[in-house]
Chain A
Amino acid sequence: MMAPEIERLINLLAKLPGLGPRSARRAVLALIRRRETLLAPLAKAMGEAAEAVRTCTNCGNIDGRDPCAICADVRRDASVICVVEDVADLWALERTHAFKGRYHVLGGTLSALDGIGPDDLRLPALVGRVANASATEIILALSATVDGQTTAHYIADKLAGSKVKISGLAHGIPVGGELDYLDDGTLSAALKARRTIDNESPVDSPADNLVENT
């Protein structure tokens, strides 16, 4: 017989991604065994997060303040906006430390299957940002899937009248990837987006005009 508090905790934890009832039971047991060092601080941190975390009205990122730390950071380049599908993608790009511009989180992609249309995404906010801000480039960092690229083309169309440069991420061989182990789709995309080695500029191919709209 298990205490109802413990059972409730297990049921809640089992709903998290990566956890099922069995792993939730193990996690709860570990938390209870380390009540002072883990359970109490975790409960406090979760309470604080629930209280403080909000969605940035400017970019759609989640942070403890609005506007978020990225939008409020004056050292970041406001002229380049990277459009991502989800906050998880924003975090992935931030981990690279390779991008110093600002972001715009769409909140999904157009999907015929799930019935997600343009009205369900944060597209008007993006169009508004492009019109109001001094943006010079929009980077469409969307998934290399049919839905992701359909969304990219749709956004490029929507922004066609503006003077901003619209670019998309390259598709191809991942770092450490061996050709023999790559799927046909990745290989053909990589071949299309090939570049010359000596000056590292892309060769002229139809793929170069991916979402270019300048």
Chain B
Amino acid sequence: MEWHDDAIVLAARKHGESSAIVTLLTRDHGRHLGLVRGGMGRRKRGLFQPGNQVRATWRARLAEHLGSFACELENARAATLLDDRDRLSALSAACAVADAALPERETHAPVFEGMEILLDSMAGNLWPTIYVKWELGLLQELGFGLDFSCCAATGTTENLIYISPKSGRAVSAEAAEPYRKSLLPLPSFLLEAGIEGPPDGISDGLKLTGYFLERHVFSHTRSGMAPAARQRLIDQLRKK
């Protein structure tokens, strides 16, 4: 068995003395693990930093084997973000969220492509907006997409400012009045493309995606909770 694919490094765990079990988010093969001999050695350690883009070759005798990766660095994203605490937090959070949320060996090309866009956007200032949208896309890809098309109660498409935590559907300001306290705020930048989210909106957006990720995805993982890196990103953005 052998395949070649574009991939983003999500994590690398030490195995033995210098080898590593590397988790990659690949375009066509989803989240995939593999052994890299010498992956934690001096020469290869820098290659397997979260966020780095690689061209991966996976080989195994049988498809169900762990197999081994041979990777060539295509874009050393991690190194360019080490100095920036906000962007580094976002990079760590995105990799940790993808690692925790995605099932193994299930193709989710939109998540990969979204992550590419997110990591590329870190060269500019739009990345918090794109991060929230990437998490929304992740929810959708996993089958828990939120519905912003119309109000769940009245069907109107105007003045949608809340989300029902029960159904994941938008609720208009008028229909929300009696239940306002139990609804989640829907930031307006999520309703339109190409709009940069204000700091409050980003915070609301992360609260929104965090609620549904916790409920539908992380509660079913081994730890039962969101990765700590995600909370650190929220804390980091809150300080601004």
Which A residues form the contact surface with B (CB < 8 A)? 17-18, 110, 112-115, 117, 144-146, 149-150, 153-154, 156-157, 171, 183-186, 188-189, 192, 206-207, 209-210
B51 within 8 A of partner (CB): yes
Closest to B43 in A: A183
| Interchain CB contact under 8 A, B80 and A188 | yes
Which B residues form the contact surface with A (CB < 8 A)? 11-13, 17, 45-47, 49-52, 73, 75-76, 78-80, 82-85, 88-89, 91-92, 95-96, 99, 223, 227-229, 232, 239
Q: A115-B223, A185-B49 are in contact. Are A146 and B92 (CB under 8 A)?
A: yes
A171 to B113: give the CA distance in the assembly, Å. 30
Q: A112-B228, A149-B88, A153-B85 are in contact. Are A184 and B96 (CB under 8 A)?
A: no
| Interchain CB contact under 8 A, B76 and A184 | yes
A130 to B67: give the CA distance in the assembly, Å. 48
| Interchain CB contact under 8 A, B82 and A189 | yes
Q: Smallest distance from the beta carbon of A175 to chain B beta carbons, Å?
A: 15
Q: A146-B82, A185-B78, A206-B83 are in contact. Are A117 and B46 (CB under 8 A)?
A: no
- Chain A: interface secondary structure? helix
| Interchain CB contact under 8 A, B50 and A146 | yes
A153 to B229: give the CA distance in the assembly, Å. 13
**10 residue pairs from A and B, CB less than 8 Å apart:** A18-B17, A112-B228, A115-B223, A144-B46, A144-B79, A145-B45, A145-B46, A146-B92, A183-B47, A183-B76
Closest to A160 in B: B239
| Interchain CB contact under 8 A, A117 and B228 | yes
Q: Smallest distance from the beta carbon of B79 to chain A beta carbons, Å?
A: 3
A153 to B50: give the CA distance in the assembly, Å. 17
| Interchain CB contact under 8 A, B79 and A184 | yes
Besides A110-B228, A112-B228, A210-B83, 8 more A-B contacts (Cβ < 8 Å) are: A115-B223, A144-B79, A146-B95, A150-B89, A150-B92, A153-B89, A188-B79, A209-B83
Q: Smallest distance from the beta carbon of A188 to chain B beta carbons, Å?
A: 5
Q: Smallest distance from the beta carbon of B92 to chain A beta carbons, Å?
A: 6
Q: Which of B79, B84, B88, B89 makes the CB contact (< 8 A) with A186?
A: B79
Question: A residues within 8 A CB of B99?
Answer: 112-113
A44 to B178: give the CA distance in the assembly, Å. 78
| Interchain CB contact under 8 A, A146 and B51 | yes
A97 to B50: give the CA distance in the assembly, Å. 33
Question: B residues within 8 A CB of A150?
Answer: 88-89, 92, 229, 232
Interface centre among B75, B80, B232 (most CB of A within 10 A): B232
| Interchain CB contact under 8 A, A146 and B91 | yes
Q: Which of B76, B223, B228 makes the CB contact (< 8 A) with A185?
A: B76
A129 to B89: give the CA distance in the assembly, Å. 26
| Interchain CB contact under 8 A, A192 and B91 | no
